[in-house]
Chains A and B, each alone.
Chain A
């Protein structure tokens, strides 16, 4: 890659991905284990609440994971690929 701007952008993006990967592993071991039983109980007892909570969790995960990563990138002073 000869273009220094492109190289810097790819470098920033790789760092962002590493941060993302760390967050994901933490997520597997902490949040999903904690959520497993309550979600199963809700699924068995109240499908309406489960349906809306499912959507909320999916949206929240997407927004929060990306926001946290962007925040850490900002703290590190790395440019976003934007």
Chain B
């Protein structure tokens, strides 16, 4: 099928297949999946400037389907999601400006790439260690599996910070927490996402669990809700620059919508630690793709 906007010919089944795979991961883990879809689109000849914008557009549609499913399952904390957007958006904007400023001083792609790999490996290693420990605790101490956490020290310390206003998040099982904690965590994740040039799903999801204390299933659903807003915003800004092929995004969206539904529904059959254990593989895949890009195999930004 020829896509006149990007002027490339790609099999719609391939695009729908990529969408399906990314949708599956997004629905299950609450991530946007740009780290995977981007390189695959680039490999079939989609120009790099269209890769990012088109990926954001299809991510918006996929996340709507997945977030809606998660909401029906009771996995979306709307209040937390909206509050986090208030911190995430300025964080992304400031992060992007920091990068712009640094880029004008010289080529920093390699530095950012290495920082990205280090962060991904740290998240992957930590999440794998924590989830395996949580599963071990469940076995040895007969804990409730669903939301078992092996690392709660930081969450407890953060909860002691009681600067008003305090907000209650009943959908996340949090009686009261300082609004500044939520804004701080979301700003930090937004800043990292902006600096690294990614959507930030696989930074935000573990941060919600380990810093704010949100149950894993709710973190997945709430992250998707945030992806809808941030990716929708990104779609418009990229489309205004002429970097979105909406036909391609619609084709990808058809596969992604199916994958997102399967992914979202599948979370019902897995306890929190298992989801985190599976999730821990993603950052390693992401790191490998960034290393390949740095080596020139997958092209630049």
Given the interface pairs A32-B251, A43-B5, A66-B68, the reply to whether A58 lies near B235 with Cβ below 8 Å is yes
* B251 adjacent to A54 (CB under 8 Å): no
Task: Report if A47-B239 is in contact (Cβ < 8 Å); known contacts: A40-B4, A54-B246, A58-B61.
Answer: yes
CB closest chain-B residue, reference A16: B261
| Cβ-based interface call for A15 (8 A) | no
Nearest chain-A residue to B68 (Cβ)?
A66
**In the complex with contacts A28-B12, A32-B250, A36-B4, A66-B257 CB distance below 8 A:** yes
Question: How far apart are A60's CB and chain B's nearest CB, in angstroms?
Answer: 9
Report the bound CA distance from A58 to B251 in whole Å.
Answer: 10
B212 within 8 A of A: no
- Cα distance A50–B237 when bound, in Å? 11
For the complex, give the distance between the alpha carbons of A13 and B247 in Å.
27
Q: What is the bound-complex CA distance between A40 and B244, given in angstroms?
A: 11
Whether A39 and B64, one on each chain, are in contact in the complex, defined by CB atoms closer than 8 angstroms, is no
Judge if B16 is at the interface, Cβ distance under 8 Å.
yes
Q: Is B186 an interface residue (CB 8 A)?
A: no
Given contacts A20-B257, A24-B254, A51-B236, contact A62 B4 (CB under 8 A): no
Q: What residues on B are CB-neighbors of A27 within 8 Å?
A: 254
Residue contact B246 to A48, C-beta cutoff 8 Å: no
Q: How far is the CB of B59 from chain A (nearest CB, A)?
A: 9
Question: Which residues from 215 to 266 on chain B have a C-beta closer than 8 Å to any C-beta of chain A?
Answer: 232, 235-236, 239-242, 244, 246-247, 249-251, 253-255, 257-258, 261-262, 265
* Residue of B with least CB distance to A25: B254
Of residues 26 through 43 on chain A, the ones whose CB sits less than 8 Å from some CB of chain B are: 27-28, 32, 35-37, 39-40, 43
A15 to chain B, nearest CB (A): 13
How many A-B residue contacts, CB cutoff 8 Å?
A: 107
How many angstroms between the C-alpha atoms of A51 and B268 in the bound complex? Answer: 36
> Is B204 an interface residue, CB under 8 A from the partner?
no
Contact (Cβ within 8 A) A55 B247:
no
A61 touches B247 (CB 8 A): no
Say yes or no: A55 contacts B239, CB within 8 Å.
yes
Size bin of chain A's contact surface: 35 or more
CA distance A57 to B4 in the complex (A): 17
Question: With the chains together, A13 CA to B4 CA distance in Å?
Answer: 35
A66–B58 CB distance below 8 A: no
In the complex the two chains form, is B255's CB within 8 Å of A24's CB?
yes
Per the 8 Å Cβ criterion, residues 64-81 of A in contact with B are: 65-66, 80-81
Q: Could you say which residues of chain A place their CB within 8 Å of the CB of B1?
A: 28, 32
Contacts of A55 in B (CB 8 A): 57, 60, 232, 235-236, 239
Give 7 nearest A-B pairs by CB, closest first.
A51-B239, A54-B246, A62-B64, A62-B61, A24-B254, A40-B4, A58-B61
Which residues in B have some Cβ–Cβ distance to A below 8 Å?
1, 4-5, 12, 16, 57-58, 60-62, 64-65, 68-69, 72-73, 232, 235-236, 239-242, 244, 246-247, 249-251, 253-255, 257-258, 261-262, 265, 268-269
Q: What are 12 inter-chain pairs, A to B, with CB distance below 8 A?
A: A50-B239, A51-B235, A55-B239, A58-B57, A58-B60, A59-B60, A59-B64, A61-B253, A65-B254, A66-B257, A80-B72, A81-B265
